Structure 1
Amino acid sequence: MTARSVPRLLAAVTALLALGGVAACSDEGASADPDRVDVVAAFYPLQFLAERIGGDAVRVTNLAKPGAEPHDLELHPRQVGQVVDAELIVYLSGFQPAVDEAVEQNGGDRAFDVAGVQPLLDAAAGGHEHEGEAGHDEETGGKDPHLWLDPTRLATVGDRLAERLGRADPDRAADFTARAQAFRADLAKLDTEYAEGLKTCQRREIVVSHTAFGYLAARYQLEQVGITGLTPDSEPSPQRLAEVAKEAREHRATTIFFETLVSPKVAETVAREVGARTAVLDPLEGPPADGDYLSAMRANLRTLRTALDCS
C-alpha cells in the first residue's frame, strides 16, 4: 500500500461504517493497483472516454451497471467506498444526484466534472420546448447533460481529461496527451461522417421518446420532437401525446424513436397513432449491446439516414 492511499482508505472505512457497510469495504484497499491511476467513472460514456485516454495506465470502475438507467443510480456502500478511494472521479454534475452527493461529500480535488469543460446547452436546444417537459430540468439547472452525443464536444472533454490524468500521473502525461489526440482524430472522422450523411435528407425532424438528442440535433441541423423531457421514464400527458402525434403527421415522420434502457410502449403508442414504425436511437447513457461508443454512434447514423430518407 502506498502512503498516499492510507488517508483515502481510512476515509473509505469511516464512510462505509457510517452506512453500515463494514463487510463491503474489507478488501477495498487491496484491490488498488499502484502502477495505474484508479479512476471512477459515473456512467458509460465517461468510462469509455477514461479508458481511451488512459489506456493501460488507468483502472476504470463504472458506477452505473449495464442495463440500468444511469439517471436513477443509487450508490451502495461499496460504491461510496470506490468514490472515496479513487484517485480521479469523472462525473457530470446534475446528471446523477447520488453521484453529485457522493462527490460533494468525498470528492475533494480528485473530482473532474465534465459539465465544466464547456457551457452546457439549454434543455430545449435542438428542438421544441413544451409544457410538462421540465421534469429533470430542475436537477440540471435547465441544462441538457447529454454532451457526448456531439463528437466535437466529447473531443474537447478528452483533451481536458488528458491534462487531469497528467496531473495524477506526471510520468505518463505525454502518453495521455497522445491518446487524446488520437481519440480526437477518431471523433473528427465520426463528425465528418455525420455531417456528410445527414446533409441531404427529405426530413430533418426526429421524434424521440425523451429529449436526449439536443447536442446531436444542434450539431447536424436536426430538430428533435420529444415525447417527454430530459427524464426518460416520465409519463407524458394525453395532451402531450396528442401534440407529438400532430407534429409527427405535420412533418410526415416515418419513424418514432425509442431507447434501449426505457420501455418502448409510449413510442409505440405514438407510432400506431400516426402510422409510423419504431426504431432504436441510442442516447448511449449505458454501454451498447455490441461494440462501443463509436460503433453505436455509427449505428445511430444509419438509423437516422433511413428514417429521414437521406440520399
Structure 2
Amino acid sequence: MKLRTGRRAAAALALLLATFTALSGCGEQKSTFVEGKVNVVTTFYPLYYLATEIGGDDANVVNLIPTGVEPHDWTPKSKDLQTASKAQLFIYNGAGLEGWAEDFLHGTGSNGGLKIVEASEGIALLSGNPEEEEDGDGDGEEHKHEEGDGHHHDADVDPHTWVSPKSALIMADNILQAFIQADPANEAAYEARYDDLQARLAELDRQFTQQLGAVPNKDIVVTHQAFGYMARDYGLNQVAIMGLSPEAEPRSQDLLDVAAFVKKNNVRTIFFEELVSNQLAKTISGETGAGIDVLSPIEGLTSKQEKDGETYITLMERNLQNLVKALQ
C-alpha cells in the first residue's frame, strides 16, 4: 500500500483528528453501517461505481465526496472518519489523488480491521507536470515520463488513471479481489457481477480503440491535464492549458503557446469539463476560432447527471462521441 500525504491536507487533518474523539461520542452522526453486508467506503465517484456494480446486494457502499464536488482539494470531515471506522473495505484511487488518505486512515482507529484497497495498483503511472518543465518545442505539447525512468516525482504523478477504459479494467479487477478476500462466502456472486461489468468495460475499450484509431487528427486541447492515460492508451496527444489540478493557474505564456498550437495544427475544438469553469476554453476559442465542447474526466457526477441516471459507462461513451466529432 502506497500513500502520499498532501501538503494542504495535513493541517486540516491535524485539527480533524484532534476533535474526532469528542465528536464520535455525541451520537448525532447517523450510522451508515449495515449488518449482514460488506461495508465499503470509496473516495470518489468512479470507485463508487465500480464497487457498487461488483458488490451489488451483498455490499453497502458509501462514497465520501458528494455529488458536484471536485475531488482534488476535498478533505474529509469527522463524520467521514466515523463511517470509515465501521467499514471492512476502504477503496481509494492512489497515485497521489487523495493526499489526505494516510492521516485519514490513521484516524479511523480500525486496528487492522479495515482492508485498504489501492485501485490504481498495477497501472503503469504517468509522471511529469508540464507546469514545472521546460517546453523545448514551444508548442504547448506535454512531456511525460513513465514511472521508473528516473524522472518520477510523487508531486508530479498524474492520478487520473480511471479516465482510460484500459485502466478501469485493472481497477475493477483489484476491487473484485478485495471483495472476495473480505467476503469469500459470496465469491460466486461477486465474480458474476464482475463478469458483466468487465464485458461492458471491455466493449468500451474496444470502441475507443477502433474509433479513435480511425480519426485523422490526434491532438486534443483540454483545460485540465486529466486525459494522459486516455491519450497514451488510444494514440492521442493531450495539450493542456492547466496542469494536474484543475485549479492550477496557467501563465500568460501558456495561453499564448496553446493558442499558437491550436492555430498551427488546425485544432477544431477546445475541451472543458463540467465541474470547473469553462472560461479558459472560451478564451482560447475566442483567440483561435475553435469551438468548445465537454470532455469529462468523470471525477464526480453533477446533480443533473445523478438525477438523469448517468454512469461512468454512459459518460465515457459521450466522451468518445465528442472526441470522434472533434478529431474528424
Shorter chain as denominator, the TM-score bin is: 0.7 to 0.9
2:203 alignment counterpart: 189
Deviates more, 1:42-51 or 1:66-75: 66-75
State the AA in 2 paired with 1:297.
M
Query: For each residue in 1:183-215, what CA deviation from the matched residue of structure 2 results, as whole angstroms up to 9, or x when unmatched?
Result: 111111111111121122231100000110011
State the AA in 2 paired with 1:197.
Q
The yes-or-no answer on 1:303 pairing with 2:308 is no
Distance (whole Å) between structure 1 residues aligned to residue 22 and residue 290 of structure 2: 51
- Report if aligned partners of 1:16, 1:22 keep a CA contact under 8 Å in 2: no
Q: CA deviation at 1:163?
A: 1.4
2:258 alignment counterpart: 244
Query: How many residues are treated as equivalent by the alignment?
Result: 288
Deviates more, 1:90-99 or 1:105-114: 105-114
Residues 140 and 293 of structure 1: is their aligned pair in 2 closer, same or farther, counting only changes over 3 Å? Answer: farther
Work out which of the residue numbers 92, 95, 98 in structure 1 matches 2:97: 95
Work out which of the residue numbers 293, 303, 311 in structure 1 matches 2:312: 293
1:82 alignment counterpart: 83
1:256 alignment counterpart: 270
Residues 78 and 297 of structure 1: is their aligned pair in 2 closer, same or farther, counting only changes over 3 Å? Answer: same
Work out which of the residue numbers 164, 168, 189 in structure 1 matches 2:178: 164
Distance (whole Å) between structure 2 residues aligned to residue 65 and residue 16 of structure 1: 24
Q: CA deviation at 1:123?
A: 4.2
Distance (whole Å) between structure 2 residues aligned to residue 85 and residue 139 of structure 1: 34
Q: Secondary structure at the match of 1:260?
A: coil
The yes-or-no answer on 1:35 pairing with 2:40 is no
- Report if aligned partners of 1:16, 1:78 keep a CA contact under 8 Å in 2: no
Deviates more, 1:236-245 or 1:77-86: 77-86
Distance (whole Å) between structure 1 residues aligned to residue 84 and residue 24 of structure 2: 16
- Report if aligned partners of 1:25, 1:81 keep a CA contact under 8 Å in 2: no
1:119 alignment counterpart: 124
Q: CA deviation at 1:218?
A: 0.8
State the AA in 2 paired with 1:95.
L
| Backbone CA RMSD of aligned residues | 2.4
Q: CA deviation at 1:115?
A: 2.8
The yes-or-no answer on 1:224 pairing with 2:229 is no
Unaligned 5+ segments in structure 2 are: 1-15, 131-140, 145-150
TM, length-normalised to structure 1:
0.85
Query: For each residue in 1:94-115, what CA deviation from the matched residue of structure 2 results, as whole angstroms up to 9, or x when unmatched?
Result: 1022234212443645211113
Q: Secondary structure at the match of 2:323?
A: helix
2:221 alignment counterpart: 207
Residues 102 and 129 of structure 1: is their aligned pair in 2 closer, same or farther, counting only changes over 3 Å? Answer: same
Distance (whole Å) between structure 2 residues aligned to residue 50 and residue 124 of structure 1: 30
Residues 183 and 124 of structure 1: is their aligned pair in 2 closer, same or farther, counting only changes over 3 Å? Answer: farther
State the AA in 1 paired with 2:77.
H
State the AA in 1 paired with 2:325.
T
The yes-or-no answer on 1:71 pairing with 2:83 is no
Q: CA deviation at 1:128?
A: 1.2
Distance (whole Å) between structure 2 residues aligned to residue 40 and residue 242 of structure 1: 43
- Report if aligned partners of 2:121, 2:171 keep a CA contact under 8 Å in 1: no
TM, length-normalised to structure 2:
0.81
- Report if aligned partners of 1:16, 1:80 keep a CA contact under 8 Å in 2: no
1:7 alignment counterpart: none
Residues 19 and 225 of structure 1: is their aligned pair in 2 closer, same or farther, counting only changes over 3 Å? Answer: farther
Unaligned 5+ segments in structure 1 are: 1-13, 131-136
Residues 308 and 265 of structure 1: is their aligned pair in 2 closer, same or farther, counting only changes over 3 Å? Answer: same
Q: CA deviation at 1:75?
A: 1.1
- Report if aligned partners of 1:271, 1:278 keep a CA contact under 8 Å in 2: yes
Distance (whole Å) between structure 1 residues aligned to residue 26 and residue 55 of structure 2: 27
1:155 alignment counterpart: 169
Residues 199 and 292 of structure 1: is their aligned pair in 2 closer, same or farther, counting only changes over 3 Å? Answer: same
- Report if aligned partners of 2:164, 2:229 keep a CA contact under 8 Å in 1: yes
2:137 alignment counterpart: none
Q: CA deviation at 1:22?
A: 4.2
State the AA in 2 paired with 1:228.
M
Q: Secondary structure at the match of 1:116?
A: coil
